[in-house]
A and B are shown apart, each in its own frame.
Chain A
């Protein structure tokens, strides 16, 4: 499945008819540096596009996670509780939350468009 990106550096990907997964881009993990802690909305919480669903902390920075999708949290990646560094190691394959919802491509960037944006950083 294809990933779509928000300008706030989260990606979202449809995993089945009803569910999407959300993570952060490689650029985001690099900008933050060593990630040490993650807090997110919990199972059953609703998230809406562009609104905060959590925080990600590195040693010297903290950044809000903004949802690239509307919906309800259906899973939280609990591996990250003990190993937040997974986000540094493999950002594109490590998801943070799964949401019951649909990718709205009209509000997001394609991978190509996002990466082009990335070059300007």
Chain B
């Protein structure tokens, strides 16, 4: 592995220099001034470049290879998006410039919001939330504000299915709700009977992904949304899986009142090793008055941002208006694909997933057979029982074939789960290679399990000791 920046440091060495400061010195009172320098690396430019070149070599992105991470929609991130986001007129404008001087940015934001409304069947969008979980929290605050405005104060509970992502219950708790979990039925959908049992006038809302985390479109969706509406609850759509249905079906038409999207999934903006993302939230018209401060609205006289004067607003979710440059990328993507391209993207994502499932299903049991949407889940429970090889082991072995493994151990309701989402931007050859590799590893699990247990072999480091990391945390460099 490479040296750390601090290990490359040489006292007195300089990288980037600034102009000499051509105004008089200022002496602040000593009580304010730092006495010793921070131990930042002292490094020359060429060494800095070599350091990061090395780190980049030890990092694996979509641009390096196949990345079938279920629920993460790791599609290709078009370079055009990067080019537009780095235009000076977007990257170098101050967020508090007067609105006359940023009309291009506002037009783009407004146009993007309209496109997202059309794609999801909603009436208004705020682009402020910075990521999916932030969007969830925003959406739940909107629901809370709505009930409060109706003096409907006994609604203290939010329902989430047991297959949901951990952010759902965590966001609900942050918005002050008690979380009720409902089980999934044998087909992986919401168990309608179980739902019936928990529905009453204490329910503020239900959070759902559809297609769900198993990659299945819930055939009862309209029944579910109408049941929740009947008791006065609202419907929250987690847009994690929108990549399956663009141009074919819309959450707004299914009965959802609030949705969040992950622009870093469906709309091709890069994940950046963990962020920045963007998690815009869309609402039906009756929730518009509650949108966060910092959301863009168009009045007859022009654009403005909601502020403290908009008293029914849930308040501000973060500084300014959102991850603008991420939104520029998503806008670029929508412009490139257009109505037909978006629909084709979803259709081909579903085709690729079904093709992959067909190729794997005789080797690895598929949790819920039938047509999947953009992803599906296989269970390695039997393999583990018979060979001792776990989902994690197979995942680690995949690394040696230049592929990122699928999502492991999620959803929690499937044992030894691997959740596979190929996306539309992968070719048949890539899918075939994945199928072939997975079959090979399956055989190997029976014939030479020790080979898999010690994988990976080709990565810069071998299996990493997570236990030691957690027991004796070393969270910064020890000088």
Listed by A's residue number, 14 A-B pairs whose Cβ atoms lie within 8 Å are A34-B467, A34-B471, A36-B467, A36-B470, A36-B471, A37-B470, A37-B471, A57-B470, A59-B466, A59-B467, A59-B470, A60-B409, A84-B471, A85-B471
Report Cα–Cα, A76/B243, bound state, in Å.
Answer: 52
Q: Is the interface of B mostly helix, strand, loop or mixed?
A: helix
A34–B466 Cα distance when bound, in Å, is: 10
> With A and B bound together, what is the CA distance between A60 and B467 in angstroms?
10
- Residue of B at shortest CB range from A59? B466
Residues in A with CB closer than 8 Å to B409 are 60
A33's nearest neighbour on chain B, judged by CB, is B467
Query: Which B residues fall within an 8 A CB radius of A?
Result: 409, 466-467, 470-471
Kindly provide the distance from the CB of B333 to the nearest chain A CB, expressed in whole angstroms.
Answer: 35
Chain A residues with CB under 8 Å of chain B are 34, 36-37, 57, 59-60, 84-85
In addition to A60-B409, A85-B471, 10 A-B residue pairs with Cβ atoms within 8 Å of each other are A34-B467, A34-B471, A36-B470, A36-B471, A37-B470, A37-B471, A57-B470, A59-B466, A59-B467, A84-B471
Chain B, Cβ-Cβ closest to A83: B471
Q: How many A-B residue contacts, CB cutoff 8 Å?
A: 14
- Bound CA span A57–B470, Å: 9
Closest residue to B470 on the A side, CB-wise? Answer: A36
Q: Is the interface of A mostly helix, strand, loop or mixed?
A: loop
CB-nearest residue of chain B to A34: B467
Residues of A within 8 A of B471 (CB): 34, 36-37, 84-85
Contacts of A84 in B (CB 8 A): 471
A37–B409 Cα distance when bound, in Å, is 22
Chain A, Cβ-Cβ closest to B467 = A34
Q: Which residues of A contact B470 (CB under 8 A)?
A: 36-37, 57, 59
Q: Which 5 A-B pairs have the closest CB atoms?
A: A36-B470, A34-B467, A59-B466, A36-B471, A59-B470
- Give the residue among A36, A37, A60 with the most B Cβ atoms within 10 A: A36
What residues on A are CB-neighbors of B466 within 8 Å?
59
Min distance, Cβ B458 to any Cβ of chain A, angstroms: 24
- Cβ contacts under 8 Å, A34 to chain B: 467, 471
Instruction: Output the least CB separation between A56 and chain B (Å).
Output: 12
- Find chain B residues with CB under 8 A from A85 CB: 471
CB nearest neighbor in A for B471? A36
Q: Which residues of B lie under 8 Å from residue A37 when comparing CB positions?
A: 470-471
Min Cβ gap B396→A in Å is: 15
Residues on B with C-beta less than 8 A from A36 are 467, 470-471
A4 and B361 CA atoms in complex are apart in Å by 47
A37–B471 alpha-carbon span in the complex (Å):
7
A118 to B466, CA, bound (A): 28
Cα of A82 to Cα of B409 in the assembled complex, Å: 29
Report chain B residues within 8 Å CB of A57: 470
CB distance from B405 to the nearest CB of A (A): 16
A87 to chain B, nearest CB (A): 12
CA distance A85 to B472 in the complex (A): 11
Nearest chain A CB to B173 CB, angstrom units: 15
